Amino acid sequence: MKYAIFGDIHANLEAFQAVLEDAAAQECTDRVCVGDIVGYGANPRECIALVQELGCPVVKGNHDEEAVLETSLEGLNPLARQAMEWTRAQLDNDDRAFLKSLKLVRQVRDFTIVHATLDTPGSWTYVTNKFDAMASFSYQFTQLCFYGHTHTPRIYVKGDSVEPLEEMEVRLEMGRKYFINIGSTGQPRDGDWRSSYAIYDADNQEVTIRRIDYDIETAQDKIIDAGLPEMLAHRLSLGK
Ligand code: ZN
């Protein structure tokens, strides 16, 4: 089994399609999504439809949750708020029912998926250092867990202590646990504009984070044509 694990698609259809094409070229057998299908980008409905078509396991992200609420968006920053108001107006009842149905945490075969953290998955806090990762590891009952939310790929390993790796690939060892941020498909924020996703090769017990070029100009044009804030198009090329 070879799993392609992606998330934080954020309605960027061009990036999502490029990741799926790469996963096919890499001979992945399964697809898994760690949430935030919508928000920011111009193709929320198309990205939901593509996830549904794949029929893959999915967990809920904070934007997937926000998109189906009718509550005020006061808490969000202005960019996120404008994008979310636009996104809410696009979705139909079936899209909303689908996003609502998503769970916060799921186990897929021998690994776990969650959007933000395992210790408080519905609070949408961020894992930005090894101490945050340690809190999540306390609730991790499989050797391997994949997550997203920060839009920055990172591999944390728990042996005697918890440490982040420098590398973007790891061979799994017995007695160790791995909490792996797969980065963002549709809006990377680590200074690299290319889409990020992970391949978990279960037969060889290896995880690799891949970076993929996509048609960024089309994604940016669509954001501007939709009347979304131009900054959302601009930030894609900055990778932040
Ligand atoms: Zn996100």
Q: How far is the CA of 63 from the centre of ligand 1 (A)?
A: 7
Long-range contacts of 25-29 (CB under 8 A, 24+ apart): 26/2, 26/199, 26/210, 27/2, 28/2, 28/3, 28/4, 28/199, 29/1, 29/2, 29/3
| Residue 186, CA distances (Å) to 17, 38, 72, 111, 117 in order | 10, 10, 25, 23, 20
- Please, which pLDDT band fits residue 84 given cuts at 50, 70 and 90? very high
In sequence order, the β-bridge partners of residue 58 are 33
Domains and their CATH numbers in the chain: 2-238 (3.60.21.10)
Say what the pLDDT of residue 59 is.
98
* CA 19 to ligand 1 center in whole angstroms: 16
Query: Do 26 and 2 meet the contact criterion of CB atoms below 8 Å apart?
Result: yes
Spacing, Cα 160 to ligand 1 middle (Å): 31
How many whole angstroms from 67 Cα to the centroid of ligand 1? 12
Q: How far is the CA of 151 from the centre of ligand 1 (A)?
A: 6
Q: 131 CA to middle of ligand 1, Å? A: 21
CA of 175 relative to ligand 1 center, distance in Å: 31
In this model, does residue 75 exceed pLDDT 80?
no
| Residue in the structure block whose two tokens are 């984070």 | 209
Measured CA to CA, the distance from residue 208 to residue 199 in angstroms comes to: 5
C-beta separation of 110 from 143 below 8 A: yes
Burial 28-54 (b: 16+ CB within 10 A, else e): bebbbbbbbbbbbbbbbbebbbbbeee
Work out the average pLDDT over 139-154. 98
Question: 61: CA distance to ligand 1 center in Å?
Answer: 7
d(C-alpha 108, C-alpha 116), whole Å: 17
Percent of the chain residues past pLDDT 70, beyond the cut:
100
DSSP string, 133-147: HHHHHTT--SSEEEE
Which of 140, 232, 142, 144 minimizes the C-alpha distance to 181? 144
Q: What is the mean pLDDT of residues 43-70?
A: 96
Query: 150 alpha carbon to ligand 1 midpoint, in Å?
Result: 7
pLDDT at 70: 83
* Span from the CA of 58 to the centroid of ligand 1 (angstroms): 14
Confidence at residue 71, expressed as pLDDT on a 0 to 100 scale: 82
Whether residue 162 is predicted with pLDDT greater than 80 in this model: the reply is yes
pLDDT digit string (tens) for 165-202? 999 999 999 999 999 999 999 999 999 999 999 999 99
Percentage of the chain modeled with pLDDT above 90: 94
- Could you tell me the two tokens for 127? 């894992």
What's the CA-to-centroid distance between 39 and ligand 1, angstroms? 8
Q: Which residues does residue 9 pair with via DSSP β-bridges, in sequence order?
A: none
Mean pLDDT for all residues in the chain: 96
Tell me the CA–centroid distance for residue 27 and ligand 1, in Å: 26
Cα 171 to averaged position of ligand 1 atoms, centre (Å): 27
237 CA to centre of ligand 1 in angstroms: 17
Contact, 13 vs 50, CB < 8 A? Answer: yes
| Distance from the alpha carbon of residue 172 to the mean position of ligand 1, in angstroms | 27
What is the Cα–Cα distance from 67 to 62, expressed in whole angstroms? 9
Q: Where are the beta strands (DSSP E) in the chain?
A: 2-6, 30-33, 105-108, 111-114, 144-147, 154-158, 162-164, 169-171, 177-181, 195-201, 206-212
- Which of 149, 210, 189, 154 is CA-nearest to residue 24? 210
Instruction: Examine the pLDDT at 77 and tell me if it is beyond 90.
Output: no
177 in Cβ contact with 143 (< 8 Å): yes
Please state the pTM of the whole predicted model. Answer: 0.97
